[in-house]
């Protein structure tokens, strides 16, 4: 089993930036793809960004494309989500997750390892 722990959430004004980190332990991070999900109050959890274990392929939801960047440092067992040009509608709990080894990194149903989540609030 792999453990994930997010950090970096907080409050920011519209147009601001935050970077989220996700430290992975328990198993070699390089074996796993990684995704960032978010869930706003009253809404379903959505996959907003994902990256393969090599880092060579990425996916972004339309709602964050061009503003958010997912990356990873396998040597440090850490993944990142750089969030720029934040909007009030980006307010949510953000969680990093890892899918089963070998599964499609864009398959939301493959994610079975989760962090506890970190709150991001965008408000003036």
CB atoms within 10 A of CB 12: 18
Q: Which residues contact 88 (CB under 8 A, 6 or more apart)?
A: 14, 122, 123
What distance in Å separates the CA atoms of residue 82 and residue 54, rounded to the nearest whole number?
18
Tokens found for residue 84? 């720029």
Banded model confidence at residue 27, pLDDT cuts 50, 70, 90: confident
Residue 34 has pLDDT above 90, yes or no: yes
Specify the pLDDT at position 70.
98
> Which tens digits make up the pLDDT trace of 82-96?
999 999 999 999 999
Q: Which residues contact 86 (CB under 8 A, 6 or more apart)?
A: 12, 14, 15, 16, 17, 18, 67, 120, 122
Sheet of 3-7, strand order: 3-7, 18-25, 78-83, 68-73
| Average pLDDT rounded to a whole number, residues 62-75 | 97
């Amino acid at each position: 089993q792999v453990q994930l722990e997010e950090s970096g959430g907080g409050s920011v004004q519209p147009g601001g930036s935050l970077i989220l980190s996700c430290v992975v332990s328990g198993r070699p991070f390089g074996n796993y793809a990684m995704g960032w999900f978010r869930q706003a109050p009253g809404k379903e959890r959505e996959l907003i960004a994902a990256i393969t274990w090599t880092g060579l392929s990425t996916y972004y939801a339309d709602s964050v494309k061009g503003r958010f960047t997912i990356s990873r440092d396998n040597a440090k067992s850490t993944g990142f989500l750089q969030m720029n040009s934040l909007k009030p509608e980006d307010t949510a709990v953000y969680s990093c997750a890892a899918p089963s080894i070998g599964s499609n990194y864009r398959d939301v149903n493959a994610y079975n390892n989760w962090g506890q989540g970190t709150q991001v609030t965008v408000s003036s």
